[in-house]
Amino acid sequence: MSVMKIALCGNPNVGKTTLFNRITHSSAPVGNWHGVTVDVKTKKVDNDAYISDLPGAYSLTARSAEEKITRDQILYGNYDVLVYVAEVNNLRRNLYMFTQLLEADKHCVLVVNMMDEARVKPNLSLLSERLGVPVIGASVTQKNPKTEIIKAAREALCRSVPTPDYLNDVKINGLISKISDRADACGLSRKFAAIKVMENDSDIILRLNTGITNVDKRDIDKPAVLRYAYIDKTLKGISVGGNSNDRTLKIDRLALGKLALPIFFIVMTAVFVLTFEAAKPLSDLLGRLMQKLSVPIMNADIPDWIISLLCDGIIAGAGSVLAFLPQVVILFLLTALLQDSGYMSRVAFVTDGFFKRFGLSGRAAFSVVLGLGCSATAVLSTRGIASESERKRAAFITPFCPCSARLAVFAAIAAYFELSGFVVAAMYVIGCVAALAVLKVMTLMQNKKTKMPAPIIMEMPPYRIPKARRVASVVWHNAISFVGRIGSVVLTVSIIFWVLCNFSVTDGFCGSVDSSLMSSFAGFIAPVFAPLGFGTWQAVAALISGIAAKETVVSVIASLGGWETVLGGSVIAAVSFMIFTCLYVPCVATVSAVRSEAGTKSAVMSVAVQTAAAYSASLVFYQAARLYLFDTTVFYGVLLGGVGLIISITAITHFILKIGRKKRWEKSLNLQ
Amino acid sequence: MTLFDLATHDSGTVHKITADDPDTHRRLVDMGLIGADVRVRAKRRRSILVDFSDSFAAVLEADTADRIEVINVRHENSTLRKSERR
């Protein structure tokens, strides 16, 4: 039996990845919102099949980056069978892309998913008979459909691909005769190529290179009308229920009504406060356990350097980060609940107007909220944004939103200096304000070059009660990933930093961090940070380690004597350090994600802008706070002067930009 | 009347799509909007959430919704919000 290549495809948010996870026993991210999958994932199923999960798409005329991936995989990916996943309550529209797979001569299996949510069960055998392809019903409450799908895929492979009757249209046949040679040369089905030319699909026309440019504009909508007529005929007598339900309408009446924005802010505040406050007792307990681990080692009869490595390097380093696992787990739990319930899609709608002011659409809100978990993943999720310029800007500013690793640093500082949870919440506000300021500057600078955000046409999923198993799976895998990072990156960095902080060139193991290699190197840079309140070499060493992964800032600080030594017990220096950590250069994984999504130039700019923003914000905060403590009157005087200066600079910049724009506009008029 | 002219809870039938941008036009047509019954679920200053033929709901930007011509309009709620009156 030959090895078969299968691809799972379909519209967004129909449960493809959930099905993929069940079939392959994997744990790819899922959610009740559009655009969770942004890349192709492939796994082996049994010994005779490979299955790939493709990003969601509405049509083979691709619009966004993720749709282009799906279109290219379907047309040129050499899959033996395409398993098309459709939602039971939305069959009419879901079958639209399916008809295009038949046009493209692809062997298909139709999986009607979410059968447990069907208002009226459709007659699947009649549907299979009419479409001419195997049809399977599936739902999370039924048994794993793996065997059925593989069997149906083999069956589909043996059958010939059915031809929908609308392809016998005279105009389509006329076009087929014109482009058949080029379609064959490009490896495309003649029917498919002809119908795409009729639709004026620029990508396919470019690929065919037939020289056809004068497509009859009156026929552009004809293929869609023919496809829907075919679908309506196929579904006649096969009961299909509606997707809108009373529960969704009732909740939306409240969540999207006049109170939409206050509800959104209450939800987000609740997420932060719960994350910080609910996890605190558990986090403290874990911290105490880690400290207790050191006691027997300290008393053991082993060489000093091993005691130092185990206690100062490993337990104080990696162990101190592990203490923040409860915060990370609660944050992932709450965001998973929001995603699975369908509220996350509403966030895009609620925040759309707000983001428009900064040159983005509400779709960017997904990435920003995802950034609370992991910035690298959030940057990759910007692929769902259709406009390239908007996508690049979203990828650029997403790392400003503090990720869960930065949360560990904030939580550690707040716990040590007994700062309120609102100080931690303020870091998120600072991150968002910095992102918006950078966005605004980018919008002003790129005013003419940048197109306005692409119009938002985004499907809104119904509200669903979050599935406990799915939420647990998301939390579990993210927690494992966090612990995995502690066991790999954090542990490695902790050991490397322990070596650098406990060895000197002349004496080898010196046991004193003050004469170590790291103290010489970081001590050289440290004066740069003195105006920010943390000009110690230990703070610099911790910040350098944070470039690998932000959690390591906590571990390195712990192994270098703790917050008291590093920040000198000053609360304002601690908050200044928090602000710097909140904004400075993102971790290597995130920079690499920005590079892949927005290019090397953007990645370099991202590092430079974030570091500059971090330095400026910390400097302003620390110096202002010192001045306030020193003399309140002088502080208010400087504050007033500063505000006046900012307003003047903004007004002058705006004026200069306006003149520049006017001149460019006049120039373009003259050219015309 | 365009789709964006409808107030919250108003309904009608999509008659024509006149989007300038071919991509947007294509996507709206691909989503089967021509001839679909529509009902406005929620409306904001620059976007609108619409139920299409009781089968799916989608958010459209104001510019896009302004390119969708609606006929047979039924006003369910005559009290318009201040922003909608504007």
* Cross-chain residue pair B24–A455, CB shorter than 8 Å: yes
User: What is the model's pLDDT at position A33?
Assistant: 53
Residue of A nearest to B57 (CA): A460
Q: Does B71 touch chain A (CB under 8 A)?
A: no
Distance from CA of B60 to the nearest CA of A (A): 5
Contacts of A658 (CB under 8 A, 6+ apart): none
Using 50, 70 and 90 to split pLDDT, how confident is the model at A10? very high
Assigned CATH class of B3-77: mainly beta
Residue-wise pLDDT for A569-622, tens only, equals 788 999 999 999 999 988 877 888 788 778 888 889 889 999 999 999 999 999
Residues of B in contact with A58 (CB under 8 A): 27, 30-31
Residues of B in contact with A459 (CB under 8 A): 56-58
Range of the domain at A663: 632-672
Residue-wise pLDDT for A41-75, tens only, equals 888 887 788 999 998 888 898 877 788 889 999 99
* Cross-chain residue pair B58–A459, CB shorter than 8 Å: yes
Is residue A241 a part of any domain in this protein?
no
Q: A63 and A386 in contact (C-beta within 8 Å)?
A: yes
Residue B82 has pLDDT above 50, yes or no: no
A559 and A601 fall within a common domain: yes
pTM: 0.69
Q: Does A244 touch chain B (CB under 8 A)?
A: yes
User: What is the model's pLDDT at position A152?
Assistant: 92
Q: Does B47 touch chain A (CB under 8 A)?
A: yes
Is residue A250 a part of any domain in this protein?
no
A309 and A390 fall within a common domain: yes
Using 50, 70 and 90 to split pLDDT, how confident is the model at B86? very low
Residues of A in contact with B55 (CB under 8 A): 89-90, 92-93, 242-244
* Cross-chain residue pair B46–A352, CB shorter than 8 Å: yes
A639 and A624 fall within a common domain: no
Quote the mean pLDDT of chain A.
82
In terms of pLDDT, which residue wins out, A214 or A545? A545
Is residue A20 a part of any domain in this protein?
yes
Of the partner residues B23, B42, B56, the one whose CB lies closest to the CB of residue A459? B56
- The span from the CA of A502 to the CA of A512, in Å, is 6
Q: Does B2 touch chain A (CB under 8 A)?
A: no
Of the partner residues A63, A201, A457, the one whose CB lies closest to the CB of residue B60? A457
Strands A135-137 and A108-113: parallel
User: What is the model's pLDDT at position A126?
Assistant: 93
Highest-confidence segment of A219-223, A242-246, A457-461:
A219-223
Strands B11-17 and A81-87: unpaired
A111 and A216 fall within a common domain: no
A429 and A459 fall within a common domain: yes
* Cross-chain residue pair B61–A244, CB shorter than 8 Å: no
- The span from the CA of A430 to the CA of A617, in Å, is 9
Residue-wise pLDDT for A350-383, tens only, equals 887 788 778 787 777 777 877 877 787 778 767 6
Residues of A in contact with B23 (CB under 8 A): 63, 386
Tally of structural domains, chain A: 4
Residue A449 has pLDDT above 60, yes or no: no
A375 and A388 fall within a common domain: yes
User: What is the model's pLDDT at position A618?
Assistant: 92
Q: Within A85-136, where are the H helices? A: 91-103, 124-131
Q: Does B57 touch chain A (CB under 8 A)?
A: yes
* Cross-chain residue pair B58–A96, CB shorter than 8 Å: no
Is residue A41 a part of any domain in this protein?
yes
User: What is the model's pLDDT at position A135?
Assistant: 94
User: What is the model's pLDDT at position A103?
Assistant: 92
Provide the sign of the torsion angle of the four alpha carbons A490, A42, A386, B61, taken in this order.
negative
Q: Would you state the structure tokens that stand for residue A158, as one six-digit string? A: 């043996």
A95 and A25 fall within a common domain: yes
Q: Would you state the structure tokens that stand for residue A249, as one six-digit string? A: 């309408």
Break chain A down into helix, strand, coil percent, rounded to 5.
70, 5, 25
In terms of pLDDT, which residue wins out, A256 or A645? A256
Residue-wise pLDDT for A145-157, tens only, equals 888 999 999 999 9
Q: Does B82 touch chain A (CB under 8 A)?
A: no
User: Residue A13 corresponds to which amino acid?
Assistant: N
Q: For residue A64, give the 3-state DSSP assignment.
A: coil
A507 and A421 fall within a common domain: yes
Q: How many angstroms separate the most distant Cα atoms in chain A?
A: 91
Is residue A246 a part of any domain in this protein?
no
The last residue of a domain, from among A186, A218, A235? A235
User: What is the model's pLDDT at position A244?
Assistant: 57
Residue A515 has pLDDT above 70, yes or no: yes
Q: Tell me, what DSSP letter sits at residue A145?
A: -
Residue-wise pLDDT for B35-48, tens only, equals 888 999 888 878 88
The last residue of a domain, from among A158, A180, A205? A158
Residue A6 has pLDDT above 90, yes or no: yes
Of the partner residues B17, B49, B56, the one whose CB lies closest to the CB of residue A93? B56
User: For an interface test with B, which of A68, A263, A456 has the most B Cβ atoms less than 10 Å from its Cβ?
Assistant: A456
Residue of B nearest to A96 (CA): B30
Contacts of A144 (CB under 8 A, 6+ apart): A22, A23
Of the partner residues A224, A244, A455, the one whose CB lies closest to the CB of residue B61? A455
In terms of pLDDT, which residue wins out, A221 or A514? A221
Q: Within A242-372, where are the H helices? A: 246-255, 260-298, 304-308, 320-322, 325-341, 343-356, 364-370
User: For an interface test with B, which of A14, A94, A96, A244 has the most B Cβ atoms less than 10 Å from its Cβ?
Assistant: A244
In terms of pLDDT, which residue wins out, B78 or A507? A507
Is residue A242 a part of any domain in this protein?
no
Residue-wise pLDDT for A125-180, tens only, equals 999 999 999 999 988 777 888 889 999 999 999 988 998 888 888 888 888 888 88
Mean pLDDT across A3-22: 89
Residue A35 has pLDDT above 80, yes or no: no
- The span from the CA of A191 to the CA of A204, in Å, is 13
In terms of pLDDT, which residue wins out, A615 or A282? A615
User: What is the model's pLDDT at position A411?
Assistant: 87
The last residue of a domain, from among A139, A158, A177? A158
Of the partner residues A59, A199, A244, the one whose CB lies closest to the CB of residue B57? A244
User: What is the model's pLDDT at position B54?
Assistant: 63
User: For an interface test with A, which of B24, B43, B48, B61 has the most A Cβ atoms less than 10 Å from its Cβ?
Assistant: B61
Residues of A in contact with B56 (CB under 8 A): 90, 93, 243-244, 459-460
Residue A520 has pLDDT above 70, yes or no: yes
A352 and A489 fall within a common domain: yes
- The span from the CA of B25 to the CA of A146, in Å, is 38
A206 and A298 fall within a common domain: no
- The span from the CA of A366 to the CA of A346, in Å, is 10
- The span from the CA of A388 to the CA of A598, in Å, is 9
List the beta bridge partners of residue A5. Answer: A50
User: What is the model's pLDDT at position A669?
Assistant: 57
What's the Rg (C-alpha) of chain A? Answer: 29
Q: What count of CB pairs under 8 Å joins A to B?
A: 118
Residue-wise pLDDT for A239-268, tens only, equals 665 555 678 888 888 888 888 888 988 888
User: What is the model's pLDDT at position A280?
Assistant: 76
For residue A651, the Cα-to-chain-centroid distance in whole angstroms is 36
* Cross-chain residue pair A459–B51, CB shorter than 8 Å: no
Residue A317 has pLDDT above 80, yes or no: no
